[in-house]
A and B are shown apart, each in its own frame.
Chain A
Amino acid sequence: MIKHHPKFQLIQGFVNGELPASLSAGIAIHADLCSECRQQISLLTEQLSYASFEEVTVDKYSVSDSGKQDNVNPLYFEQAIAAITKSNDIDIIEPKIEKNIIFKNHVYSLPFVLHNMVLGKTANIGKLARARIQLDENEIHSSLLHIEPGGSVPEHTHNGFELTVLIAGQFSDKEGEYVPGDFIMLDKKHPHHPVSEKGCLCFTVANDSLHFTQGISKILNPIGAFIY
């Protein structure tokens, strides 16, 4: 059972469209597998649409009309409407087609939200493999991280945040074992050391390189920039 969910504030940012694409994708992957959060998202969407269109809440910055309907130049209306309605084409939603991704000899079904994102070349170190997702969000890096059975990421903390969403397989750290859909958001207060006995595929987002805490791992520090 999924035990780790995004915090309310994140879900709120997601529904508002205020999160970067990387974090939004992480929540979408989670919500695909978590009916509880799906429900919260749809409830919140409804509430926000209500807040947006139904009730005009206190908005200090909009000095608009004085109690009447919003008044806009009628000529503008006509032109805008004509521009839209001159074509009678409709959008056809194409059915979703499964898309797979292969790491070593393991085939995974790619989460729908990642289908149109551009993946970089896969880089390998030992039992770890990483493909960057090219979202161009400056200091925020998103990746697919694959761990082969028996592989692990050395204990590390993080200068910023580090999000891991488990897509398939399992891994565990001292907090316990994780299942697909688990949404694990960590900050620098939480050192962790994920180990995957059976192998796994994760979606990761981090806004800075990792910081390894175990003595011997310091030598491995380049791995930090590699993974996240």
Chain B
Amino acid sequence: MNTLNLNSNLPIFPLPVFLLPGGITRLRIFEQRYLKMIQIASKGSGFVIVSTKTHVDKESAVTTQDNEWGSWVDIVNFDQGDDGVLEVDVKCKNLVELLSIDKDEDNLHFSDVKITPHWSHIDTETENIALFHSLVSVFEQSPLLDRLYKNDMTANTHWVIARWLEILPVSLEVKTLLSKSDSFQTAQDFVHSIVFSAKKS
């Protein structure tokens, strides 16, 4: 077995949210087993957000689906919300394929994972200034996004396209298509044709 890029026994957080490497989101955690997950994850190895449909909603067996994937995230900050609920900011570091899933007595799931390459993980030399400016103005209207990304802002093409994909109002299934490692050109065209008018036919 190839042990490269393998990581064992990471906790799983089922949530329909699309997050590519570099993406940051804030989670509110209050269920006991997920508080436990945060305790485990904060020891350094993070956890995996799994957004695919076959998420953990049944007590027992769940159907099989090929290539289940997730966003492996690190905790970058946490705080208590005004209502006392734990708020955790997480940043995606890799997309991963889930290999084998197991659960403990609290019904918290764990999986061994394998890192799958994705274009958004790689810095490019190129910048996409037009989409960057547009993205900045979206962030400016959202105080939270603005705060989460304040130290990360870059016009790097991959980064800008990845952030646009995350915030566009299209279904998770569509976004998942663009989570493939070779999808960069397609993703860029896609974002362009929505944000700017589809001039080129």
Contacts and interface: CB of A to CB of B under 8 A. Distances in A.
The answer on A and B forming one complex is: yes
Contact of A8 (B9, B40, B77, B110): B77
B39 A8 contact: no
A101 B123 CA distance: 47
Given A12-B42, A47-B39, A50-B39, A58 B77 contact: no
A57 B40 CA distance: 7
Interface in A49-92: 50-51, 55, 57-58, 60
B190 interface: no
Given A58-B9, A58-B104, A60-B9, A8 B78 contact: yes
A43 interface: yes
B56 interface: no
Nearest to A13: B44
A120 to B, nearest CB: 35
A50 B42 CA distance: 13
Q: Is the interface of A mostly helix, strand, loop or mixed?
A: helix
Contacts of A55: 36, 39
Contacts of B77: 8
A43 B9 contact: no
A12 B77 CA distance: 10
Contacts of A44: 78
Contacts of B104: 58
Given A8-B76, A57-B39, 12 more contacts: A8-B75, A40-B79, A43-B78, A43-B79, A43-B80, A44-B78, A47-B42, A57-B36, A57-B40, A58-B9, A58-B40, A58-B104
25 contacts: A8-B75, A8-B76, A8-B77, A8-B78, A12-B42, A40-B79, A43-B78, A43-B79, A43-B80, A44-B78, A47-B39, A47-B42, A50-B39, A51-B39, A51-B42, A55-B36, A55-B39, A57-B36, A57-B39, A57-B40, A58-B9, A58-B40, A58-B104, A58-B110, A60-B9
Interface of A: 8, 12, 40, 43-44, 47, 50-51, 55, 57-58, 60
Q: Which 10 A-B pairs have the closest CB atoms?
A: A51-B39, A8-B77, A57-B40, A8-B76, A57-B39, A55-B36, A58-B40, A57-B36, A12-B42, A58-B104
